[in-house]
Structure 1
Amino acid sequence: MFSAAALVACLACLLSIAGAQKAGLPWSQPSFDISQFLTTGKVTWYYTFGISSVSTSTEFVPMLFGASQAAQWDSSINSVIQNQGVTHILGFNEPNEPSQANLSPQAAAALWQQHIQPLKAQGVLLGSPAPSSSSSGLQWLQQFVQVCTGCTVDFIAIHQFGTSASDVIAAVQEYHDVFPGKPIWVTEWTCADPNSGSGCSASAVASFMQTIQAFFDSQSYIERYAWFGVFAGSSPVQIDLVDSSGHINALGEQYIGA
């Protein structure tokens, strides 16, 4: 008969195994070595804000960033799906933001119906456009789902920036409440003010990551997540997963459970 302590340890192990399949990376630095993030098995997928992949055997998830990529997308996505063994697709990047995909829900629906929905016939799973963490994000996504007639949204993709772990968790839970039954991918999350972009202290970032990553790993409705990001100094350095040379740093090792 198992002791209570053994059962608790077994449960913790199972949760760790389940969470190990969720972590990913938004990979925007093709010259860096992604393999340094794959040594523990914690990180199992990545995306690149487009259809260009890097040389690795880990899972690649293509993204149609916005309207400007549509022609390239149509010319290449079928071969990418076949050659890379793609099983998931990401929709538009922060369409509610003028500096990003900058699409109304109606315009996004038209693009989706033309460029993304047909891929469902190949058996891939389609992720929603990923709104930013601004106050307009949830409303934008609700409107998109309402107007996108005949669209298949297999999972909900969102971004969440903040300086309070509890606030970020509450925001993610709100999406879950609005879209019950849909898996959620938090494809960007980090410790930064979503309005000013200012970062947190190094110690605050480490604590923030630890709290939220543990929450994500424990929640069955959160299917995947990706910390933002891998920059080597082009953002508040406290949130970087690499040093100035592109080598994994202490925060990166924390993220992959090294």
Structure 2
Amino acid sequence: MQKTARPPRPPPPPPPKPKSLSSNTVVTSSGIGSPGRKRGLGWPWDQPSSHLKLYEPHVAAGRISWLFNWECWIPDAVPAGVEWVPCVRTASNARDQLEPFLTDIVQNRGIKTGALLGFNEPEIPDQANLRVEEAVRLWRDVVLPVKRKLGLRLGSPGMSSDVGRSKPWLDAFLAQLQGDDDEIDFLVVHWYGPHFRDMRAFLEDMHATYRLPVWVNEFACSTMGHGEATAEAVEAFMREAIPWLDGCAWIERYAYFGNKDVGAWVGRGNNFTEDGGPVETDGKRLTRVGQLYCEL
């Protein structure tokens, strides 16, 4: 199996503080793992809420059912029928935001969400960058109490497809939890590379190793800096990957990495939006790749 590394994009700057602990969005819950409810959106925190209008027809058609934004706060204008799933991306998110934000959003506001995602690539220096010992302490002191308080399913820390780093980190993390690891309900993984066969091999290996349902929360057809994948190559990749993900019993959810200008390293052939759209969506429209992701 080809080992593929996580794109070395810098972590985003801290988002502006919300006016309150949650937005004005009203979100309805969708069933986790139910047929036809796997496909979602990875929504970078700085994306204009108007861009969500591009996906409303596909939400109505049952093609898109959930969204996450790598954060503990909910974006504005999440379409009705789309479940927002929070993520405790970093140590500071765990210490400062997780409990007060989710208590306000879920208990006080009544917004329904069924799951919580763990730290974002803690093994990668320019992502969460957490020592195992610190991650275990925060998991026990903050993450598990929030899971129990709000009755959420809990995803593992989101691990990169660089198994030389991700597997040793996750193995040590699970070992140090010493029994609390049985409160992890599903495995969260990311994958970047040019070939679906390598993605499938990686996912099958991770599932066989950890024996948990899998959420693929980031993936893309990427040559990882060796030229950019074309839109045609991305479309061919999607035509293999999406039907397999939909049909695989232990894949619970997935979200493609394309809802921004993803840059040269991932490859702009993966971009879901382009200029040429109406004023209501800030002049953006879905690319052929974005449309294909929604319609397959």
1:14 corresponds in structure 2 to none
- The residue type paired with residue 119 of structure 1 is V
User: Hey, what does 1:33 align to over in structure 2?
Assistant: 51
In structure 2, relative to structure 1, the CA distance for the partners of 1:229 and 1:19 (3 Å cut) is farther
Q: Verify: 1:176 aligned to 2:207, yes or no.
A: yes
Deviation at 1:248, TM superposition (A): 1.7
Alpha-carbon distance, 1:68 to partner: 2.1
Show structure 2 runs of 5+ residues with no match: 1-32, 276-282
The answer to whether structure 1 residue 97 and structure 2 residue 124 are counterparts is yes
Q: Secondary structure at the match of 2:229?
A: coil
Please tell me the residue identity of whatever aligns with 2:289.
L
* Structure 1, unaligned runs of 5 or more: 1-16
> Among 51, 66, 69, which residue is 2:93 paired with?
69
C-alpha distance in structure 2 between counterparts of 1:138 and 1:32, whole Å: 38
Partner of 1:207: 236
- Say if 1:207 and 1:119 are closer, same or farther in 2 by CA, change over 3 A: same
Match of 2:84 among 37, 41, 60: 60
Tell me which amino acid in the other structure corresponds to 1:146: A
1:131 alignment partner, SS class: coil
Output the TM-score relative to the length of structure 2: 0.76
Alpha carbons 2:229, 2:268 under 8 Å: kept: no
Answer yes or no: is 1:134 the counterpart of 2:162: yes
Identity of aligned residues (%): 29
**SS of 2:99 mapped into structure 1:** helix
2:191/2:220 contact within 8 Å kept: yes
State whether residues 22 and 44 of structure 1, in contact with CA within 8 Å, keep that contact through their aligned partners in structure 2: yes
- Partners of 2:62 and 2:53 lie apart in 1 by 11
Could you tell me how far apart the structure 1 residues matched to 2:86 and 2:215 are? 14
The residue correspondences of 1:148-167 to structure 2 (distance < 5 A) are 148-149=177-178, 150-151=180-181, 152-167=183-198
TM-score by length of structure 1 reads 0.86
- Judged with a 3 Å threshold, the aligned counterparts in structure 2 of structure 1 residues 108 and 42 are, in CA distance, closer, same or farther, namely same
Aligned equivalents of 1:186 and 1:240: distance in 2?
18
**CA RMSD in angstroms, aligned pairs only:** 2.0
User: Helix, strand or coil: the match of 1:92?
Assistant: coil
Q: Is 1:117–2:135 an aligned residue pair?
A: no
Whole-angstrom CA distance in 1 between matches of 2:204 and 2:245: 11
Aligned length: 240
> Distance in 2 between the 1:140 and 1:100 partners?
14
Residue equivalent to 2:112 = 85
Taking the aligned partners of 1:153 and 1:94, their CA distance within structure 2 comes to: 16
Q: Which residue of 1 aligns with 2:19?
A: none
Once the two structures are superposed, residues 207-255 of structure 1 have per-residue CA deviations (whole angstroms, 9 ceiling, x without a partner) of 1111111110010100000000201464532001111443222111100
SS at 1:33 equivalent:
helix
Aligned equivalent of 2:271 = 240
